[in-house]
Copies of this chain bind each other. A is one copy, B any other.
Amino acid sequence: MFEPANFATENDNPREACGVLGISAPGEDVARMAFFGLFALQHRGQEAAGIAVSDGHTVRMHKETGLVSMVFTPESLAPLKGKFAIGHTRYSTTGSSSLRNAQPFLIETLLGPLAAAHNGNLVNIAELRQELLQRGTGLSSSTDSEVITMMLAGAVGATWPERIQNVMPRWQGAYSLVLLTRDGVYAVRDPWGFRPLSVGRLPAGGYVAASEWGALHTLGCVDIHEVEPGEIIAVGEKGLESIQGMAPAPKLALCTFEHIYFSRPDNVWDGQNIHLVRQRLGEELARESKVEADVVIPMPDSSIPAAIGYARVSGIPYNDGFIKNRYIGRTFIQPTDSLRKQGVALKFNVLPENVRDKRVVVIDDSIVRGNTSGPLVRMLKEAGAKEIHLCITCPPIRHACYMGVDMGLEADLIANRLGVEEMAARFGCDSLSFLSLEGMMKAIGRKSGYCNACFTGAYPFPVDLEHTKTGFEKAIS
């Protein structure tokens, strides 16, 4: 239940791969702008960061493992002069291959330089790789971005937009993509609309595309709107052009988890402010769960709006119950046995005054592996909480995601193995409630258009599980 190996950085959140950013701003220091924009996308990937810049002739790139603030120094930014830029923050795997898989991925092609940065996952990647290998193109990484650039390098079409249009139908899965060429930036969103991608205008001239509105606001953008499913937005010297890459899928499949957990609260997703959606998730949860309690506390930070909403509807007072240590970083130092025995989580401490002798509702966004809920319940008990009612702002996660979110394999998912009662018993809480699918969609304010496969197993299109990314054999590492 409690996995001490990850003690110091313990969490139980799904992980997503990547934030992306594209800038067209001739006359500005686009690399510096990209740097500051990536700061606001840091929460979408802390493992590696990269920026590629075109000066209209040559594309130069710097990428490295580490936080944005560590990867970029005045020295590493200095050579990145140009008019157009793309950037990327990556939630990467570990190990020596991590730098090789950092993005953007940059190649020279017959049409000149091409760089790509990508958020999402192509489910037919094994097939696409095989096609590239068959036509004699070797692959040096395991990123979708390399496959995307190599397919575009060999695509039919005299211009990049034509090539993108010709290749898009081959990409099955989630992709919010930025492409950098000699002459501008393309922002491309898959026809299902899995992952977010928005574009804004710079008052002084130019355009920015980014995974989230926070990055666009940081750069001072106005007239912000979301890139449409299947749309290609081209920005360059001539301004902004919208091109239909593909018709939107008949059934859109936006990722619900952007609402639940991934996006920063200031993002807009599917036309809705995330912070408000999260408050409504808490409100719906209060309507459904009907727990009697003395205090509502959030798991900081993502569940704070939901807890505020829950408190509002339930009438139970809102208060803080956990303190989050904001300086927890990566460490390879393991706790001593006595620390392990106590099962104390370093990431959170309890505010005993706020829970002692109280019936406590704890709002959390999701349960994935279930490895932190037990210790947190125990901490509250030891601080004197009388009852603990764990309320989750989404349904149980029972299925793996193949669209770019790392929730682990199905066998890793606690709700795939245990029922709600069993989970409650495992965690030691007095009750455990999950928001219903209907309640969740009601809070989101939509009846359809979302991918809820992690809850339902109903993927938006058939997924050949044997050939998904984890399935294909690694020849290089």
Contact = CB atoms under 8 A, between A and B. Distances in A.
Contacts of A350: 217, 266
A46 to B, nearest CB: 7
A477 B59 CA distance: 6
B476 A339 contact: no
B140 A153 contact: no
A327 B39 CA distance: 7
A367 to B, nearest CB: 22
B112 A138 contact: no
A69 to B, nearest CB: 3
Contact of A28 (B214, B320, B336): B336
A6 interface: no
Contact of A106 (B114, B318, B476): B476
Interface in A36-53: 36, 39-40, 42-43, 46
A332 interface: yes
Nearest to A312: B317
A452 to B, nearest CB: 25
Interface string A26-70: 001100110110011011001000000000001111100001111
B32 A335 contact: yes
A135 interface: yes
Interface in A18-32: 28-29, 32
Nearest to A114: B138
Contacts of A32: 333-336, 339
B331 A476 contact: no
A290 interface: no
B108 A139 contact: yes
Contacts of A72: 331, 333
A166 interface: no
Nearest to A273: B353
A42 B96 contact: no
Contacts of A202: 338
Contacts of A276: 353-354
A59 B100 CA distance: 14
B58 A36 contact: no
B96 A79 contact: yes
A351 B58 contact: no
A323 B58 contact: no
A134 B137 CA distance: 12
Contact of A59 (B8, B112, B476): B476
A375 interface: no
A297 to B, nearest CB: 11
Nearest to A30: B336
Interface of A: 8, 28-29, 32-33, 35-36, 39-40, 42-43, 46, 58-62, 67-70, 72-74, 76-77, 79, 95-96, 105-110, 112-114, 129, 133-140, 149-150, 153-155, 182, 202, 204, 214, 217-220, 264-266, 273, 275-276, 301, 304-305, 308, 318-320, 323, 325-336, 338-339, 342, 344, 346, 349-354, 474-477
13 contacts: A36-B333, A61-B96, A68-B329, A106-B140, A110-B133, A112-B475, A136-B137, A136-B154, A182-B475, A214-B323, A266-B350, A273-B353, A308-B319
Given A275-B353, A305-B320, 18 more contacts: A8-B39, A32-B333, A32-B336, A39-B328, A61-B476, A62-B96, A67-B327, A69-B329, A106-B476, A108-B139, A109-B138, A113-B475, A138-B149, A138-B150, A204-B338, A266-B350, A273-B351, A275-B320
7 smallest CB-CB distances across A and B, nearest first, come from A136-B154, A107-B138, A69-B329, A42-B327, A138-B153, A220-B342, A108-B475
